[in-house]
Amino acid sequence: MWVRLLDVSFNKRYVSVMYDVGEFLGGFMEMDDSDPLGWGENMRIKVLIDINKPLRRGLFLAMGNNQSRCIDIKYERLADFCFFCGRLDHTERECQQKEQAKDDEKKMVYQYGPWLRASPKKFRFDAGEKEFEKAWVESLRTSIITRKIPTYNDPNVIKLGQVGAARKLCFASPIKQGSEKGVGVKQSREAGIGRKGSGGLALLWKDSFDVEIKSFSMNHIDAWVRWPNIGRWKFTGIYGSSKEENKFKTGLLLDNLHNNHSGPWICGGDFNLMLTSNEKKGGREFNIVEAEILRNVVAVCEFEDIGYMGHDYTWTDNTGGEGNVQGRLDRFFANKEWCALFSRSFVSHLSKRKSDHLPLLFCISEGVGKPKKKKLNTKKHYKFEEMWLRDEMCGDIVANVWHYGGVICSKIAHTSINLSAWSHNKFGDFVKELKDCRACMECLMKEDQTDDTIAQMRALDDRMDK
């Protein structure tokens, strides 16, 4: 739902601040960029709204120096709602709270009303003028970023004590530099200050692919992929909230993405939700309420579970003994149209490495890019291994070969021969050893996660890092 924030200070009209506000209201989705300079009467952002909670009439925005400012909120295309309790799932005629609050001696007070509604924005602007304003704003940002900022190693600055102490005393925080992050909305009654904790998403692709990002947030990336000889289909990457009170936002987000889409669609990632009780092992009882969130998403979006090969659980809390908890939090869904195009696609749960989540490998039946040509020459080519640089002998071998002189081609050939022989004696067949470590890791994943098993898995991680 699009909301309008009235009378926002010009020094707070940044995407980072609007993101904090959107998360506070229920979940940020996007910001209206039709006014790049931010000179309009209000700021518009699209947010998720929980219909089971009262609408917010306003919020307090942190202004610095322990001061705040009240910002009024109006909602576009707001449906009928209760003027007494402010909820969207009923009107005042069906409001039970109103009936309970009735008192013949006191006058009924309505804290909500039609003044919360705002008519949908009508876009009347010149496209050329808008692009000019965007370019001007970008040039201003560039000039600020390129301005030289003194560092600790600058010979012209005064150093006060240790590096950490000097930075705290003399220099601005690198997080706040050129950003309004952290000076957003107050906590408690007001709102959260920036984003804290782990998590987030990144989508990478090769230049040979035609990918168009449609929308994104800290919890999703929505993109169109144009596939050769097939056409366009949609991919959505998901990172569901791990906090119990915010898990409903994952359902609202996917429901909203479904309403704005038609055609082949695949969706995958860390949902932080499970469908059935057999997808969880250990810990507290299976949460049926959280499961209903994901079940409703599957029903509304008409998803099918792609399935998987490998270990049954994609997450563990890495504790040993009876307290160990495992669950299938990561998965891929697709609708029937996508499955019809890529019917032989499959998901593999790979062996565990460091993280509490397993890596998932999703293989599309049509392949990726151009088909690979068969290798005619099976001779093993020489490759310089980065791990050699960790040993001082590597530098000595190269120096000794270069010391004997000769043409450059001869030096390179002798260097490769000597390094390969030294590596075989020093490290053995480390590729085979790495495969053996992965095989051991997969065996340990299938065993009961005792303290001893967890210790062996960590030892394997350390061994593969060497």
**Residue 253: closest CA among 215, 279, 303, 223:** 215
Average of per-residue pLDDT across 161-184: 36
Q: In this model, does residue 314 exceed pLDDT 60?
A: yes
What per-residue confidence (pLDDT) applies to 379?
55
Average pLDDT over every residue of 166-192 = 35
Task: Label residue 235 by pLDDT band (50, 70, 90).
Answer: very high
- Taking 60 as the threshold, does the pLDDT of residue 374 lie above it? no
Contact of 84 with 112, CB cutoff 8 Å: yes
Mean pLDDT of the chain: 76
pLDDT digits (tens, 9 = 90+) for 236-284: 999 998 888 888 989 999 988 888 778 899 999 999 999 999 899 888 8
> Model pTM?
0.49
pLDDT at residue 270 in the model: 92
Residue 132 has pLDDT above 80, yes or no: no
| C-alpha angle 282-283-288 in degrees, rounded to nearest 5 | 100
Which pLDDT value is given to residue 234?
A: 93
Cα 234 to Cα 247: distance, rounded to the nearest angstrom: 23
Instruction: Give the model confidence (pLDDT) of 431-448 as tens digits.
Output: 666 677 777 777 777 777
End-to-end CA distance of the chain: 51
pLDDT score of 279 = 92
* The pLDDT value given to residue 466: 59
DSSP string, 400-436: HHHHT---HHHHHHHHHHHHHHHHHHHH--HHHHHHH
Mean pLDDT of 352-359: 81
Question: Given this model, what pLDDT does residue 173 score?
Answer: 35
User: Of 79-93, 115-129, 368-382, which range is least confident?
Assistant: 368-382
| pLDDT, mean of residues 6-12 | 83
Residues 404-429 as b/e (b if ≥16 CB within 10 A, e otherwise) read eeeeeeebeebbeeebeebbeeeeee
Token pair for 342: 């890529």
Predicted confidence (pLDDT) at residue 182 exceeds the cutoff of 50: no
Cα distances (Å, whole numbers) of residue 242 to 19, 296, 360, 396, 424 = 19, 18, 19, 51, 46
Report how far residue 361's alpha carbon sits from residue 347's, in angstroms, rounded to the nearest whole number. 6
Lowest mean pLDDT among 4-18, 41-55, 184-198, 380-394: 184-198
pLDDT at 152: 46
Whether pLDDT at 416 is above 70: yes
Q: What average pLDDT does range 184-191 have in this prediction?
A: 34
pLDDT tier at 338, thresholds 50, 70, 90: very high
